[in-house]
Chains A and B, each alone.
Chain A
Amino acid sequence: MEKIATRMGFAKELVELGKDYENIFVIDTDLSCSGKSDGFAKAFPERSLNVGIAEQNAAGVAAGLATCGKIPFVVSFAIFASLRMCEMVRQEIAYPKLNVKVVGSHGGLSPAPDGASHQAIEDMGVMRTIPNMTVVMPADYWSARKLTRAVAEFDGPVFIRFTRDSVPVIYDENIQLEIGKAHQIQDGSDVAIIANGDTVHIALEAAKKLAEENISARVLDMHTIKPLDADAVKDCIEKIGKIITVEDHNIINGLGSAVCEVVAEIGKGKVKRIGINDKFGESASYERLMEKNGITVDAIVEAAKSF
């Protein structure tokens, strides 16, 4: 299966968007090569700013630009885009509901050899907690392209998270994705697996393995964790009753928590959360980190069989 990093999808679509919308600006923070906004900077130098290693400033500048009718994309590693910019995003972007897109590349454990300092495991949770924020994570190259466009065309503040490494391309250019709507990749009757980002292909593989054992799994790509598609979760509970959530994020306040909030209010059904068990990462290969944190095909299969 072909593999491409989601941030490459962002890179490509951003340039397309630059052609379609004259008011799209990009604000870089000395990470345009890693964050993949360098293509936009080359194509549209007059709408591309680099404020240096000054993320807080970048967020403020984005807010100011948004008040002038621009659509600023501010780009950094997910860790800095969420946490270093956090209060600026809250006060000057989310609170006034300005049309700023906060882009975090290298999300989750994906900057693996860099170690814990660079691994964003709380970013989506922190952003999810801020009122008015929309929080999105694409699962592959094509969803990265489609969701980057959807985010640009959406009116309001958004945090969108990409990752460093290549991931399997699971969709094609015809995929239709809507912010706030879960995308059901396959239906099933015994268990529902709800995943986001890089873990969607892991969920799909697990579903395949389960099928070999006559366990039928529904797989949802929950690319938007806020607003969460509560109807899709409710349907999983009504029709199946068992949900496994999978994410490369702390299990506190990420996808798993968001799903649990909905399920708890329904008052029936059962959820198992697979993700980082509230501990910091470390230097290692990405694959090993996912294994060590139990974010694997086998862990999903095991969870499905042990409800």
Chain B
Amino acid sequence: MEKKSVEELKEIAKDLRKKVVTILYEAGSGHPGGSLSAADFVTACYFYEMNVDPKNPKWAERDRFVLSKGHVCPVLYAALSTRGFFPEETLHTLRKEGSPLQGHPNFNCPGIDIPTGSLGQGLACAVGMAIGLKYDKKNSRVFAVLGDGECQEGEIWEAAQTANKYKLDNLIAFVDKNNLQIDGPTDEVMPLLNLGEKFKAFGFEVYDIDGNDMNQIVQTLDEIRGKGQNQKPKCIIGRTIKGKGVSFMENQVGWHGVAPKKDELERALKDIEEGF
């Protein structure tokens, strides 16, 4: 696939956001806030940076994607479908009986590289993938998306120290730093201190960016690619807005895990279209 331009990527992110709110409305449950905050980075992964083949989801040379914060799978499902991994109709079966699109992602869905949903476990799996790919002398890389609240789990840091030990320069962790979790702001529930400094202390090369700014995302991915095999795992701290793109969801802790109702869906679609 040819890399999309930043303008095209922005349009795709818009489309994914619309799909997210629509399928959550249809499902009647699920997680809009963190799906919307991560939408720009997920777009850049699937339409700019990652080497994948929708016709051959298990292609051995592909880049891997780990949605460590698995509850925001609606945005991943939207990206996979738009990229051609499965038909758009399937999106509308989210969370329904028999659907390949489970409430949290698993192998029933083409393009899912590892099931997630229990927080804190994805980065370790990404580390394992990165080690395996290196061992097989493949140039594939591993992209992992983490929640900031999720970084309260100890296993994240156990995985991080492993990434350093094995010099996993093929691992790129993106922390969707939207500053909210379920019980409130991360700073109140459990202060994360300086996440970037923490990853740095764990041996990562750290990039601190506006995670909803497509220009910055693309530039950062270019820069990381340019580093080649420099022995360092990478961490992008993406400062984002939970609920990004929908006026009444932005920065609202209450929109973590509630699906929009009909009228809310209409307002959300309008906000997204108009680039609120």
Contact = CB atoms under 8 A, between A and B. Distances in A.
Interface of A: 28, 30-34, 38, 50-54, 56-57, 79-80, 84, 113-118, 282-285, 288
A53 B149 contact: yes
Contacts of A51: 152, 190
B118 A283 contact: no
24 contacts: A30-B190, A31-B182, A32-B183, A38-B183, A51-B152, A52-B152, A52-B186, A53-B190, A56-B154, A113-B27, A113-B30, A114-B117, A115-B95, A115-B117, A117-B104, A118-B103, A282-B97, A283-B95, A283-B96, A283-B99, A284-B97, A284-B98, A285-B97, A288-B97
Nearest to A285: B97
B183 A117 contact: no
A115 B183 contact: no
Interface size class of B (residues with CB under 8 A): 20 to 34
Contact of A116 (B96, B102, B182): B102
Interface of B: 27-30, 70, 95-99, 101-104, 106, 115-120, 149-150, 152-154, 181-183, 186, 189-190
A84 B153 CA distance: 11
Given A115-B106, A117-B106, A117-B118, 11 more contacts: A50-B183, A52-B189, A56-B154, A113-B95, A114-B103, A115-B104, A115-B117, A117-B116, A118-B103, A118-B118, A283-B102
B206 to A, nearest CB: 21
A12 B46 CA distance: 47
Contacts of B152: 30, 51-54
A288 B98 CA distance: 11
Contact of B29 (A50, A53, A113, A117): A113
B26 to A, nearest CB: 12
A283 B97 CA distance: 6
Contacts of A80: 118
A124 B241 CA distance: 39
A38 to B, nearest CB: 8
B103 A115 contact: yes
Contacts of A117: 70, 102-104, 106, 115-118
A288 B97 CA distance: 8
Nearest to B186: A52
B103 A113 contact: yes
Nearest to B27: A113
B182 A283 contact: no
Nearest to B190: A52
Contacts of B186: 52
Contacts of B98: 282, 284
Nearest to B253: A33
A84 B118 CA distance: 9
A108 to B, nearest CB: 15
Contacts of A30: 149, 152, 181-183, 189-190
Q: Is the interface of B mostly helix, strand, loop or mixed?
A: loop
Contacts of A32: 183
Nearest to A34: B182
Nearest to B97: A284
Contacts of B28: 113
Contact of B103 (A54, A84, A283): A283
Contacts of B30: 113
A265 B98 CA distance: 41
Contact of A54 (B99, B102, B117, B190): B190
A288 B96 CA distance: 10
Given A50-B190, A53-B153, A54-B154, A282 B118 contact: no
Contacts of B116: 117
B118 A31 contact: no
A80 B155 CA distance: 14
A285 B96 CA distance: 8
Contact of A33 (B102, B120, B153, B183): B183
A57 B158 CA distance: 14
A51 B188 CA distance: 10
A78 to B, nearest CB: 12
Nearest to A84: B118
A79 B29 CA distance: 19
A76 to B, nearest CB: 11
A79 B99 CA distance: 22
B114 to A, nearest CB: 12
B253 to A, nearest CB: 10
Nearest to A284: B97
A109 to B, nearest CB: 12
B147 to A, nearest CB: 8
Nearest to A51: B190
Contacts of B29: 113-114
A119 to B, nearest CB: 10
A26 to B, nearest CB: 12
A285 B103 CA distance: 11
A53 B104 contact: no
A116 B103 CA distance: 8
